[in-house]
Amino acid sequence: MKKLVFLAAVFVSFIAQPAFSYDLPQGALTYGLTSIQNSADDPVYGGNLASTEFNICMSEAPSGGAASNCLSDESGKIRKEIDALMHQFYESITLPADAKIRYIDSVKTDLHKIDYLCKMFNIDSTGEMYIVYNNHIRNEIITCEISRLSVLRDSVTRALSDV
């Protein structure tokens, strides 16, 4: 009986798939760096990857608290850029509405993955997990977010240019 139910489910999934499928640009739904396995390979955020304001802020930060503010501001800025890109993606006339919604939902899912990985597990930029929360880990968590958000932003930008 279990095999029959399984086969019926597989059959229905194959029949329903063509009715709802639309191919997005190749690689549009892959962002990388959203799992613990990849966290040790995070690129160092800064230099050419970062905004000019962030680089200036970090070079002028007199203390860890000021650096923390620079990191927080940059994280917020990247999230706003991703939101703006998603709005542009939604306004695109070259994709069907259902494809746009699926793509936007996938980006939102990755944003949740980034939050979960960095905040819930307290993963730092070296891939280590902190058991105890302290002020140092706050900067590490934000650095974890920024590294992944910048990869996500770049992927969304590429996907937007492909449509």
146 Cβ contact list (under 8 Å, min separation 6): 45, 71, 74, 75, 78
pTM over 0.85: no
Residue 59 Cα to chain centre, angstroms: 26
Mean pLDDT across 12-20: 39
Taking the C-alpha atoms of residue 63 and residue 66, their distance in angstroms, rounded to an integer, is 5
Q: How confident is the model at residue 131 (pLDDT cuts 50, 70, 90)?
A: low
In angstroms and rounded to an integer, the radius of gyration of the C-alpha atoms of the chain is 19
Q: Which domain holds residue 88?
A: 2-162
Residue 82: Cβ-neighbour burial (10 angstroms; 0-12, 13-18, 19+): buried
Residue 41 Cα to chain centre, angstroms: 15
- The model's pLDDT over 81-123, given as tens digits with 9 standing for 90+, comes to 999 998 988 888 788 888 888 888 888 888 888 888 777 766 6
Residue of 28, 13, 7, 19 lying closest to 163 (CA atoms):
28
Q: With the C-alpha atoms ordered 105, 116, 65, 146, is the resulting torsion angle positive or negative?
A: negative
Q: Which pLDDT belongs to residue 77?
A: 94
Q: Give the total number of structural domains in the chain.
A: 1
